[in-house]
Chains A and B, each alone.
Chain A
């Protein structure tokens, strides 16, 4: 019984903390003044918010059903992979669209050279290889392309 009480307290704490973090992350979108600052809210505040909620879920189902629930780890993993990538993409788009910064932003954005924007001065692989056909052609002695 005591264990259940303890687990309940921990789950409740994690849920409340998760809710608060998720909320402040979203509040950041409202508070901050320019696009790049607003980006900081969702990339961080929500990560821990969702993390706390997932740990609470894991704990709750493990204790109540008596078997390990680790599925939530997958959600965490996917989130940790996708959140920074979307953040990076959004920030990069913002840079390329020359969005304005709030006054007082220190440092400056360097002018982009063609290579940085991806206007192809960089060698790319000539042609995407078909997953299996290219190998068969090679085996027949015919090189692809």
Chain B
């Protein structure tokens, strides 16, 4: 179908974006004071040893040449070698990607479910207690930073109630699920506040819209008016909002992985930054950039599927 033609040519538009990101991350990571060789060898390392490491990883080359090698390697599907872990960056990322991927997927799903439930509850009781309660909670929720929310959830569910593990990531499926509940919930609660507010507003407007009036005039019960007509129409702007928040979500994942000690690529990124592991920082940044771009593409596809009027 020609409405989905953009899926074919959109990746071409991604190329300049990724190129820009490669420059920014390359330069930014080198602007942090400090030196990977010194971090690796400790404060008492001899200048010769440091020079050796630097030449081994090509850090003594001029900046532009280093960047050239970085991009050249990228075209070969390589991201260089980690200074800290001594293995290929891509392999390193692949071993760490599963928890992050699962965390992002579950928290997005969860936040949409929470938002739809809360917004529907509020909109269908517009101006009554449930509506005010949802508005207060979602407004207050915006004020809570996710890491704080995460810590509070740990205190409540893990420390006081002893229902869920405090941190880490399991080996068996059941264990993994148990470990992911709190971090997913933390991200989902934070993200859903924004979604709830937008969705609630769209639903309230939708219930007053001509579409709803026309459906009521056909004798449709309020339940049908809401779920079959108002809900699909109000989801259209919310999908866009979700796509805009994807960047935030990925940034949030990095923080939350640190709070819950989940061995994902967020945690990998944080460690790499502290140890000035340039290759890993660049690699993870590129992967996250690709993910953001890809998720936006998916959001566009969903928008086109949800609204027959949209042409991209």
B is bound to A: no
Question: A: which residues have CB within 8 A of B?
Answer: none
Question: B: which residues have CB within 8 A of A?
Answer: none
